[in-house]
């Protein structure tokens, strides 16, 4: 076996825990999308083309709630903007890769694929980095798409699933993703601000309340960061 193939295989092996961990979410996504009234083809298209877990879950909510197209796109933009940081991190590594491979790398640049690749770069350096990434990302992507299809099939076959409260799966997942970050005062204030605005603005049309709440939450975070920096700068001056 060539070293390139070995690298691809070890990529697939390293991402296996994340493949297993995200499989339930792929199934829930497919089922939930269909139960919310989206055609199974739309659930598949979201996993095949967009391939971004949290944005896909929110899209169910927005698409079935009659959100306007710009709101859907803007929400996707805000939620996925962090991926630009991953893109910037990988830029020096991928500089000499041919354009089609760089584009494919970008297409698969999820939190999970980035996390596994980043660890590899730190432990093993850049040797066979591309085949390693392709091996891990291809495995992760194929698994996500396949289990979405199975979830969508389930949702289609068992029409009563929506009544079971599958919509709860999404908010439980989001709550579990946010909670561990609420350990210092700034994120707690961001959450309180975003949560209250979201409630008071929830009646706005086209789900505009969501964008408004997110923007005010981020603004609160920026203001608190700014204040802390000024306070620490001031205390440095005092100490001198």
Partner 1 sequence: MMSNTLWAAILGMFAVTFLIRASFLVFGQRLRFPPAVVQSLAHVPVAVLTAIVVPEAIAPGGQLQLSLANPYLIGTLVAGLIAWKTGRTLTAVMLSFIVFGVMRGLF
Site string for partner 1, 176-205 (x = CB under 8 A): xxxxxxxx--xx--xx-xxxxxxx--x---
Binding of residue 84 to partner 1 (CB under 8 A): yes
The residue count for binding partner 1 (CB under 8 A) is 89
The number of beta carbons lying within 10 Å of the beta carbon of residue 88 is 9
Nearest distance from residue 32's CB to partner 1, in Å?
Answer: 13
Are 108 and 141 spatial neighbours (Cβ–Cβ below 8 Å)?
yes
Candidate residues 6, 206, 208, 221; the one interacting with partner 1 per rule CB under 8 A: 221
Which span (101-109, 116-124, 126-134, 135-143) binds partner 1, by CB under 8 A?
Answer: 101-109
Where would I find the beta strands (DSSP E) of the chain? none
For the chain, how many helices (H) and strands (E)? 11, 0
Determine, following the binding rule CB under 8 A, whether residue 234 of this chain makes contact with partner 1. Answer: no
Listed in sequence order, the residues at least 6 apart from 150 whose beta carbon sits closer than 8 Å to its beta carbon are 27, 30
Residue 145 CB neighbours (<10 A): 15
Q: Which is nearer to partner 1, 5 or 227 (CB)?
A: 227
Number of Cβ within a 10 Å radius of residue 226? 10
Q: Report, in Å, the least distance between residue 1 CB and partner 1.
A: 28
Scanning 7-15, 95-103, 123-131, 231-239 for contacts with partner 1 by CB under 8 A, the matching segment is: 95-103
Which positions ≥6 away from 230 have C-beta within 8 Å? none
Minimal distance, residue 13 CB to partner 1, in Å: 20
Site string for partner 1, 132-171 (x = CB under 8 A): --------------------------------xx-xxxxx
φ, ψ of residue 166 to 5 degrees: the values are -65, -25
């Amino acid at each position: 076996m060539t070293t390139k193939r070995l690298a691809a295989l070890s990529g697939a092996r390293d991402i296996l825990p994340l493949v297993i961990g995200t499989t339930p979410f792929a199934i829930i996504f497919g089922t939930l999308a269909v139960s919310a009234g989206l055609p199974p083809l739309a659930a598949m298209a979201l996993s095949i083309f967009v391939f971004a877990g949290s944005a896909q879950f929110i899209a169910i909510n927005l698409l079935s709630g009659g959100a306007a197209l710009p709101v859907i796109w803007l929400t996707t933009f805000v939620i996925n903007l962090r991926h630009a940081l991953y893109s910037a991190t990988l830029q020096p590594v991928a500089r000499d890769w041919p354009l089609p491979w760089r584009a494919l790398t970008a297409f698969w640049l999820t939190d999970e694929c980035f996390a596994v690749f980043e660890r590899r770069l730190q432990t093993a350096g850049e040797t066979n980095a591309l085949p390693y990434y392709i091996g891990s990302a291809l495995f992760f992507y194929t698994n996500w798409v396949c289990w979405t299809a199975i979830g969508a099939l389930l949702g289609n076959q068992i029409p009563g699933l929506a009544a079971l409260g599958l919509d709860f799966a999404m908010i439980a997942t989001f709550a579990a993703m946010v909670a561990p970050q609420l350990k210092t005062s700034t994120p707690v204030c961001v959450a309180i601000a975003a949560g209250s605005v979201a409630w008071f603005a929830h009646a706005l049309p086209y789900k505009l309340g969501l964008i408004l709440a997110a923007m005010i939450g981020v603004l609160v975070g920026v203001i608190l960061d700014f204040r802390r920096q000024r306070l620490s700068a001031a205390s440095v001056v005092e100490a001198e």
